[in-house]
Amino acid sequence: AQKVTQAQTEISVVEKEDVTLDCVYETRDTTYYLFWYKQPPSGELVFLIRRNSFDEQNEISGRYSWNFQKSTSSFNFTITASQVVDSAVYFCALSEQGGSEKLVFGKGMKLTVNP
Amino acid sequence: GAVVSQHPSWVICKSGTSVKIECRSLDFQATTMFWYRQFPKQSLMLMATSNEGSKATYEQGVEKDKFLINHASLTLSTLTVTSAHPEDSSFYICRGAQDSNTEAFFGQGTRLTVV
């Protein structure tokens, strides 16, 4: 069975601080996809990244970076120099096969960035 | 990226009435549509998966006679909450996929309040 664990439920930081959101996953599949989504108070899910299990390269996109380590089954997300607009709930998710299979979500982590 | 348009974005209905939520894929053919539900401060849970022209597959614990899913065309899927009760108040969101090799896309979500 697939499982995604986001151990942190809520984090509060001050603007400009760096923050790392942890994600640990479980799957028996050799091919799988990992995702991060941002859910602002308005509710919609904002896609941040999709990474397949064969690509362990870390990725950086502006202030966002992701560290994928298969050895520890982790896919952590770091926000550098956080901003108030980063305040949201962040979900890590996992899917099998081609990435369009059903997603299994972690419980989410609420990030509050204070000015 | 591709767009899934979900309507309405929010709805308030009286207990005992039915509510229909629509998801349209605007620039791709959604062979598969996933329907998720999110209770306040909780994660997203898959309710059902529908393939165009076929009956939906419901997750364990989801009443198929209460949550009617229709996926009669490649661009439209609907979720009807029948005889709604206050405990059905939740955020409902769809996710459309064209095939197993391409990314899937979320609708904007519908916030249902049953009074």
User: Rounded to an integer, what distance in angstroms lies between the CA atom of residue B105 and that of residue B94?
Assistant: 8
Does the pLDDT of residue B2 top 60, yes or no?
A: yes
- pLDDT higher than 70, residue B1: no
Strands B10-13 and B110-114: parallel
Per-position pLDDT tens, chain A of length 115: 889 999 999 999 999 999 999 999 999 988 899 999 999 998 999 999 999 899 888 889 999 999 999 999 999 999 999 999 999 999 999 998 655 678 999 999 999 999 9
What's the gap in Å between the CA of B86 and the closest CA on chain A?
Answer: 20
What is the per-residue pLDDT across B76-97, written as a single tens digit (0 to 9) for each? 999 999 999 999 999 999 999 8
Q: Is A4 left (phi over 0), alpha (psi -120 to 50) or beta?
A: beta
> What residues of chain A lie within 8 A of the CB of B95, using their CB?
103
Cβ–Cβ pairs < 8 A, chains A and B: 53
Position A85 scores a pLDDT of 96
- Which of B42, B44, B103 to substitute to test the interface with A, most A CBs within 10 Å? B44
Which position has the token pair 């081609």?
A98
> pLDDT of B32-64, one tens digit each?
999 999 999 899 999 999 988 888 999 999 999
Instruction: Answer positive or negative: Cα dihedral of A17, A18, A21, A22.
Output: negative
CA quadruple B89, B93, B94, B100: dihedral sign:
negative
pLDDT of residue A96: 81
Distance (Å, rounded) from C-alpha A16 to C-alpha B65? 50
pLDDT at B109: 96
Query: Which pLDDT score, from 0 to 100, does residue A98 have?
Result: 56
pLDDT band at B103 (very low <50, low <70, confident <90, very high): confident
As a whole number, mean pLDDT of residues B16-44 equals: 94
- A interface with B, Cβ–Cβ below 8 Å: 43-45, 47, 50, 91, 97-108
